Amino acid sequence: MSDQQFPAQQQEPPGLTGEMRPEPDHGETSYVGHGRLLDRAALVTGGDSGIGRAVAIAFAREGADVAFTYLPEEQPDAEATAALIREAGRTPLALALDLRERAACDEAVERTVAELGGLDILVNNAGFQMARDDTLEEYDDERIDRTFKTNLYALLWLCRAAVPHLRNGPGCIINNTSIQAFEPSSSLLDYAATKAAINNFTVNLAAQLGSDGIRVNAVAPGPIWTPLQPATQPPEKVEQFGADTPLGRAGQPAEVAPAFVFLASPAEASYVSGTVLGVTGGKPVF
């Protein structure tokens, strides 16, 4: 697969799965659960597509009920994800919310607890980037605001709202960071900065919540084929997406989800906290 290429393509943010060529693999036909998360309740932000959908599928097949957030314009993807959770025999809760608003973050947690009977796992996956501009001078305030509120503000607001409920488990928090925190691209100054901050936040919050038995970890994906790519990258970059990794290709969302399952598992990762786990195709995360 070292010669993998994607056809040139472009969408407007946030992008939709059905318009991608090829469509990503979320584990729809391959992921097999083993009861690792039986009867637990999870909230996955940005769970309609990409890594979020793969995590939602895996969690459901491991026995969890799954709430997930999405933007209203992502309704087709949200319906597909909800159907896949339902097919796994678990309860989906699709929440059309813009997490750039603090009240939306509070609502996501409150509705998960009310409708799924609690909250055991919070996955902060929703993210925004824009790589079509190359220089800082081209960044307008709207772009900077959207990047920081989606990637960082929402994460803090969600964690703050979730912690009192996670203590009942105790539960766990898993943040989605990026290889960009370690190997930043000049065209992603704002995005890379938020991901570096998430790494710091993950380790710091793990120290703060350790005495409550709440584990806090992060997954750092490398280049993964999701709607974020054609929606935020120029077409010529999409064609070679992931070719610069040691494995010579981009990853699929289905290849990232098992890392989230491991970190969520109260048995397999019971002594794992404050860790950033790389799924990068060979790029170093240190």
Tokens 């970059």 correspond to what residue?
237
Q: Exposed/middle/buried for 13, CB within 10 Å: 0-12, 13-18, 19+?
A: middle
Nearest to 206 by CA among 153, 255, 163, 256: 163
Is 191 catalytic? The answer is yes
CA distance 234 to 268: 40
CA atoms within 13 A on the CB side of 81: 35
CA distance 81 to 45: 12
Of these residues, 31, 70, 153, 191, which one is catalytic? 191
Cα–Cα distances in angstroms (integers) from residue 41 to residues 29, 44, 68, 76, 113, in the given order: 23, 10, 11, 23, 8
Check if the beta carbon of residue 14 is closer than 8 Å to that of residue 73: yes
Check if the beta carbon of residue 68 is closer than 8 Å to that of residue 94: yes
Cα–Cα distances in angstroms (integers) from residue 171 to residues 69, 99, 108, 160, in the given order: 19, 22, 17, 14
Strand partners, 44: 68, 123
| Residues with a known catalytic role | 191
